[in-house]
Amino acid sequence: MNSQHGLPLAAPRLTPVLDPSFRPAILANRAFRRMARATADAAPIRLALEQADGSVFRFETTVLPEAHPLAAGNATYLERLVKFLLWSRGGWRIHFDGPAPLGAALQAHYGETATGRFDSDIVGERIYDHPIEVVVTRNLPPARSRTAPLGRNLNGCRIGFDLGGSDRKVAAVMEGKVVFSDETPWDPYPQADPQYHFDGIMDSLQKAAAHLPRVEAIGGSAAGVYVHNRVKVASLFRGVPAALFNQRVKDLFLEVKSAWNNVPFEVVNDGEVTALAGAMALGQNAVLGLALGTSTAAGYVTPEGNITSWLNELAFVPVDYQPNAPVDEWSGDAGCGAQYFSQQCVGRLMPVAGIDAPANTPLPGKLKLVQSLMAAGDDRARKIYETIGTYLGYTVAHCAEFYDVRHVLVLGRVTSGRGGDHIVGRAREVLEIEFPELARRLAFHVPDEKEKRHGQAIAAASLPVIPPVTDRA
């Protein structure tokens, strides 16, 4: 287990207690770059990811010369790196300036492998309306991107909602004060009829509206990618057949908006609202928000307090390079974030920790069991949370190579209760021991219990802008 398809792997100094085979992406990447830079005739690589709106993100790295004994690791290093860039930044056209064989390997990956085709289908075609295209060229387009202010509008009577894989949350907000919040279990993933989703959303909104004299704006968050309130791709609707998705789901939120008299309405990726919630609570920017729930949601607020056109879908980025890493059920790829920072991770680690659950117990039920054991001081449960915390420390360091971040907000159902303190405490320990420079400039933040469970719905309420009365006349 010292390599992954030719890429040398490095063991962490702090080993996850329940996963000794864990090989962090950050350590393998750093060691590989050091080796490449120390080698004569190292090959520079330049990348530019292009989005449909013309935004371009550039990145540079170095690989080993083709004659080097470990040059077989070049393709693996590059593919894992580009995957992180695709799911964090987004894009459909990859401009590649580097050794021609590596460019050809990237082209073959997105055209001929199952995991590459998944990325091409979801990131390329469904989000940007183009299959992923790798262009080998010496002439890369210049970097350009847009940012925009996000939320922080708390005037008037508002509703905010957050749609998760196991529950939906809602909050009623009046002049910046929360007057009602609620959480309702639901099971959206296997549902083939979008009416289930529509009815659930409307039910939550109606509960909140009952506590307001009027509804002037509605903001929402959910896993997925949304453009002008239209659903591009979202795991909540994975059970809906493709034809019905195109017919009903794409405009589902526009349908909800219409049902509420077309009040100002905004729905945004739940990760962005996670980061917004953190920025609002902290009064700080340069925030990376991570929500550990049914899956993994992430969002980023820039040092200027804005959002970008980045995807920030860290559920799909590679964080563990071990050959036998757990496989994501949707993408089929191994070692990706969703299996390390979610209820899925808790369920995966339970048997290793020696915790049994009745057959057919759903993931939320398994998490509740582990939380109850943790509250009772069970050492097996503690090991699960410490393992997740070790994962988190190394992954935050990995993300810090791609994000200008000073604050990491950690929330979500997995962090509720005493286990959340163990997760963050272990993550801090990883940074202090393995990445001391980063530990000195980066702070972890954990909201209180109410903010953990309902913070995103409250922040979501601040998304829409209520126009002045004269503009609405």
The CB density around residue 149, as the number of other CB atoms within 10 Å, is: 11
| pLDDT for residue 451 | 65
Q: Residue 461 corresponds to which tokens in the numbers above?
A: 């309420």
Q: Domain 273-457: which topology?
A: Nucleotidyltransferase; domain 5 (3.30.420)
Lookup: tokens for 198: 């529509």
- What's 127's DSSP letter? I
Query: Is the pLDDT score of 343 beyond 70?
Result: yes
Structure tokens at 314: 């860290």
Residue span(s) of the chain under CATH 3.30.420.40 come to 163-270, 273-457
Q: How many CB atoms lie within 10 A of CB 244?
A: 13
- 116: amino acid identity, one letter: G
Dump pLDDT digits (tens) for 61-92.
999 999 999 999 999 999 999 999 999 999 99
Instruction: Encode pLDDT of 253-312 as tens digits.
Output: 999 999 999 999 999 888 888 888 888 878 899 999 998 988 898 999 999 888 777 889
Under DSSP, the state recorded for 125 is I
Task: Label residues 91-125 b or e (16+ Cβ within 10 Å = b).
Answer: bbbbbbbbbeebbebbbebbeeeebbbbbbbbbbe
Tokens of 9: 């792997």
- Supply 447's token pair: 């909201």
Write out the CATH class of domain 163-270. alpha beta
- Give residue-wise pLDDT tens across range 107-144: 999 999 999 999 999 999 989 989 999 999 999 999 99
